[in-house]
């Protein structure tokens, strides 16, 4: 018999080795419904920071379309609130380079030439340090998404939240197996993180109306098709909220 002994953190989710009783919920999903243990579930909120969703942020400054951000922010608020109430872990990821860009990869890295923030700043030197850089307003999580004690914030310097970070270690510490993905951009950082999570044996679930793409609509469609067919499950905000509401009625 497994021992449940061990210290418990203030939010009820203790360090690795502490097992909470299962709290099962079934979510209406594509290609089929999926049952998850809410006590082993994390909502991975990808790059919902000023750079990509706020007026005056990097995307807005350079004329990228952020018109879809409002609906995505609202749905993220609903999902995060319901998930917290249900006992899920909330993890915020954000693109955030050190001020000296020593973690950017440098000129011998493809990241230097392809990561959007680095490209924009390199092409417009007056913006060095103002975008996706630690300590800047641009890298902060947008003010609409309140961060609570017990939430986790992980800085990343690559499109995938698992690349060069401690995300995997954090999730395993809290005994997480199911990852619900929201945020931006659907076809870039969300999909990159989701794919890596799949390869690490996490169960990936993407919320189709709580993510927003970069580029033409086909990029959103392609990611959702990839997830549904090959990498995981696709749900809606309403489906998630209904599953949480069903838990409350039990």
Q: Which of 88, 89, 130, 189 is catalytic?
A: 189
Any idea how long the chain is? 250
What does the pLDDT look like over 143-154, one tens digit per residue?
A: 999 999 999 999
Among this protein's residues, is 88 annotated catalytic?
A: no
Do the beta carbons of residue 42 and residue 176 sit within 8 Å?
Answer: yes
Q: Indicate if the pLDDT at residue 2 is higher than 80.
A: no
The predicted structure's pLDDT at residue 12: 46
Do the beta carbons of residue 43 and residue 211 sit within 8 Å?
Answer: no
Enter the pTM of the model. 0.91
The predicted structure's pLDDT at residue 4: 33
Provide CB contacts within 8 A for 29, sequence distance 6+.
205, 233, 234, 235, 239
Among this protein's residues, is 47 annotated catalytic?
A: yes
Q: Which of 138, 156, 179, 196 is catalytic?
A: 156
CATH topology of domain 25-249: Rossmann fold (3.40.50)
pLDDT, averaged across the chain = 92
DSSP output for 106-156: GGGSHHHHH-HHHHHHHHSGGGTTTSSBTTSGGGSBPTTSPPPTT-EEEEE
Among this protein's residues, is 130 annotated catalytic?
A: no
Do the beta carbons of residue 96 and residue 133 sit within 8 Å?
Answer: yes
The predicted structure's pLDDT at residue 118: 96
Residues paired with 146 in a beta bridge: none
Do the beta carbons of residue 132 and residue 189 sit within 8 Å?
Answer: no
What does the pLDDT look like over 84-112, one tens digit per residue?
A: 999 999 999 999 999 999 999 999 999 99
Torsion of CA 216, 220, 226, 231, to 10 degrees: 140
Report how far residue 28's alpha carbon sits from residue 102's, in angstroms, rounded to the nearest whole number.
Answer: 44
Among candidate residues 144, 48, 35, 60, the one with its CA nearest the CA of residue 96: 48
Q: Which of 37, 47, 151, 196 is catalytic?
A: 47
Q: Indicate if the pLDDT at residue 14 is higher than 70.
A: no
Q: Which ranges of the chain would DSSP assign to H, the alpha helix?
A: 50-53, 58-61, 69-86, 110-114, 116-123, 167-173, 191-199, 217-226, 237-249
What does the pLDDT look like over 57-94, one tens digit per residue?
A: 999 999 999 999 999 999 999 999 999 999 999 999 99
Q: Starting from the edge strand earliest in sequence, which strands make up the sheet with 41-46, in order?
A: 152-156, 89-95, 41-46, 178-184, 203-212, 233-235
């Amino acid at each position: 018999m497994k021992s449940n002994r061990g210290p418990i953190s203030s939010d009820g989710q203790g360090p690795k080795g502490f097992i909470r009783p299962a709290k099962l919920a079934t979510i209406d999903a594509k290609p089929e419904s999926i049952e998850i243990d809410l006590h082993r579930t994390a909502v991975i909120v990808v790059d919902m920071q000023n750079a990509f969703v706020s007026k005056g942020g990097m995307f807005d400054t350079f004329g990228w379309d952020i018109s879809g951000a409002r609906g995505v922010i609202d749905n993220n608020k609903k999902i995060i609130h319901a998930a917290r109430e249900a006992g899920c872990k909330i993890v915020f990821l954000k693109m955030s380079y050190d001020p000296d860009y020593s973690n950017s990869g440098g000129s011998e890295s493809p990241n230097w030439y392809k990561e959007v923030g680095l490209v924009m700043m390199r092409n417009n030197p007056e913006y060095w340090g103002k975008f996706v850089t630690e300590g800047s307003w641009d890298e902060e999580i947008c003010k609409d998404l309140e961060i609570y004690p017990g939430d986790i914030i992980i800085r990343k310097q690559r499109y995938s939240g698992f690349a060069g970070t401690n995300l995997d270690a954090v999730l395993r510490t809290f005994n997480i197996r199911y990852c619900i993905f929201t945020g931006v951009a659907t076809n870039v950082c969300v999909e990159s993180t989701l794919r890596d999570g799949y390869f690490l044996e996490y169960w990936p679930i993407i919320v189709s109306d709580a993510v927003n793409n970069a580029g033409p609509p086909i990029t959103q469609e392609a990611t959702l098709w990839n997830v549904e067919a090959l990498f995981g499950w696709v749900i809606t905000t309403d489906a998630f909220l209904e599953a949480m509401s069903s838990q409350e009625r039990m």
